[in-house]
A and B are shown apart, each in its own frame.
Chain A
Amino acid sequence: MAQLNASLRPAPAPPPEPIPVTLNVNGVERTLHLAPWTTLLDALRLHLDLTGTKKGCDHGQCGACTVLVDGRRINACLTLAAMQDGRKVTTIEGLTTGDSLHPLQEAFIEHDAFQCGYCTPGQICSAAGLIAEGKATTDDEIRELMSGNLCRCGAYPNIVAAIRQAMAIAGPKAEGAP
């Protein structure tokens, strides 16, 4: 067995000073002092206790960590919190107004658009971004522009139906429409 003695390795550099990071999260200004390598996802989950946003792969491949930054959907696992300093972050917790659910949340319940629910916060935030972008009009376009959100339970047909409803597009018209 090779030497695994930690004393043989070079001493690690002292950790850099925490960086002050101010985020407007769901309408509330929050200032944190974070190590530079803290991702936006870890800042939300570990430092702000907003655990609605999920960590699936941590590598940009599954979409479970999707949040809106200044209204645009991104993967919170592939950006540093420090890079988003000063910006507005909306998570699944911020989509409700008071006690009323967001139309997408209503539609996901109505269409049974989940099983385990792990991908759901990411799906809903991604769908909110998709609707704001305004590029999808057909079911195929919804599928294509939601392809960054994987669902291990395979609830895809119901997810598309829920998004279509929230977009207020009639089903038969959306299917194969030009």
Chain B
Amino acid sequence: MRSFTYARAGSAADAVGRAGATGMAFVAGGTNLLDLMKADVLRPEGLVDISRLPLDRIEETADGGLRLGALARNADTAYDDRVQTRYPMLSMAILAGASAQLRNMATNGGNLLQRTRCYYFYDTATPCNKREPGSGCGAIGGVNRIHAILGASDRCIAVHPSDLCVALAALDAVVQVTGPEGERSIPFAEFHRLPGDRPEIDTTLQPGDLVTSIDLPAKGFAEHSTYLKIRDRASYAFALVSVAAGLEMDGGTVREARLALGGVAHKPWRDPEAEAALVGKPATPDSFRAAARVLLRDAKGHEHNSFKIDLAERAIVRALTDAAERKGAPRP
């Protein structure tokens, strides 16, 4: 790693103040930042350690939801009783990611801000518009098996690697932020962005912004939900395609549906039209497939990743089937 300074933040305000200076970065669990610093992809001049700020609690909110502290560890979030019983898809998503050791270190806030696993982003010998704006995209015309099929641009076809975020998107979570301009709430759908012509920017956070918590609304789809992750090996690998699904059922009919996909785009992918296509329909593979086709209507593959289009369709059908059959419901 290159040389850098280290300071521990005494409070959230102190953290925001320190991170305002150029070249400073927050470190929480360190599992993504230090990895990228060792690879020389990120080169901060100083780290502001926020890991001991008292933002690690999981608390009830006034509207019946749950507030997940930004510094709560992924493992503590996944194994929290309230998360497991009220938001089982979230618990499943976290436990499908990384390893037990990494989940003990990784924080919820850091998970939101982890960078893509695109091979070229990690390899400083190759062009990458995300790492070095204007240098070109190694993956377009290169090796692109893990890349995006939705929402990509001609500058970048990277995907967001998080599992946790896919469930947060499906649950309509809200990200609470404090920054140089004060506090604000960002609906999850507006937190991550598509690459467009600025692929170096992953989120709508501004410099110095600190994520303080992630709020879950009361509705957790606990009865009919699941998280399905498809990857190259059974464990400890990033998703090729993943699906967070939540349904509200009236007998055998879908009353409300939530569907978010991971591994397919620069952000967790939701499509209101696909969700609307499920409402009022019987919970059958045919109606699930029809909704999947709506969601994938504009999907576009590259040389090595076109298989993801079929894979995503089948994964959606399987996840919705599992959700309808209560496969992901909490154990009694």
Residues of A that sit less than 8 Å from B by CB: 12-13, 15-16, 19, 35-37, 39, 58-60, 63, 66, 72-75, 78-80, 82-83, 126, 129-130, 133, 135, 143-149
Q: How far is the CB of B44 from chain A (nearest CB, A)?
A: 11
Q: How far is the CB of B125 from chain A (nearest CB, A)?
A: 14
Q: How far is the CB of A136 from chain B (nearest CB, A)?
A: 9
Q: In the complex where A59-B38, A79-B30 touch, is A73 in contact with B101 (Cβ < 8 A)?
A: yes
Q: In the complex where A75-B31, A147-B99 touch, is A82 in contact with B49 (Cβ < 8 A)?
A: yes
Contact B100 A130, beta carbon cutoff 8 Å: yes
Contact A129 B30, beta carbon cutoff 8 Å: no
Contacts of B105 in A (CB 8 A): 74-75, 78-79
Among B2-10, B157-165, B167-175, the one that faces the other chain is B2-10
Contacts of B2 in A (CB 8 A): 37
B104 within 8 A of A: yes
Query: Could you give, for residues 27-45 of chain B, a 1 whenever the CB lies within 8 Å of some chain A CB and a 0 otherwise?
Result: 1011100110111000001
Q: How large is the interface on B (under 10, 10 to 19, 20 to 34, 35 or more residues)?
A: 20 to 34
Q: How far is the CA of A157 from the CA of B312 in the complex (A)?
A: 33
Besides A59-B39, A60-B31, A80-B27, 10 more A-B contacts (Cβ < 8 Å) are A35-B3, A37-B3, A72-B104, A74-B104, A78-B30, A79-B29, A80-B34, A135-B79, A145-B100, A147-B99
Contact B31 A144, beta carbon cutoff 8 Å: no
Q: How far is the CA of A148 from the CA of B98 in the complex (A)?
A: 8
Instruction: Give the contacting residue for A16; candidates B5, B27, B38; CB below 8 A.
Output: B5
Contacts of B49 in A (CB 8 A): 80, 82-83
B102 within 8 A of A: yes
Contacts of B5 in A (CB 8 A): 16, 36
Q: How far is the CA of A35 from the CA of B98 in the complex (A)?
A: 29
Contact A13 B3, beta carbon cutoff 8 Å: yes
Q: In the complex where A60-B31, A78-B31, A147-B99 touch, is A73 in contact with B104 (Cβ < 8 A)?
A: yes
Q: In the complex where A148-B99, A148-B102 touch, is A79 in contact with B34 (Cβ < 8 A)?
A: yes
Contact A80 B30, beta carbon cutoff 8 Å: yes
Q: How far is the CB of B29 from chain A (nearest CB, A)?
A: 8
B274 within 8 A of A: no
Across the A-B interface, give the 4 residue pairs with the lowest CB-CB distance, nearest first: A148-B99, A36-B6, A147-B235, A147-B236
Cross-chain pairs A/B with CB under 8 angstroms, 27 sampled: A19-B6, A37-B1, A37-B37, A58-B38, A60-B31, A60-B35, A63-B101, A73-B100, A74-B101, A74-B104, A75-B31, A75-B105, A78-B31, A79-B30, A79-B105, A82-B6, A83-B51, A126-B100, A129-B104, A146-B100, A147-B99, A147-B236, A148-B98, A148-B99, A148-B101, A148-B236, A149-B99
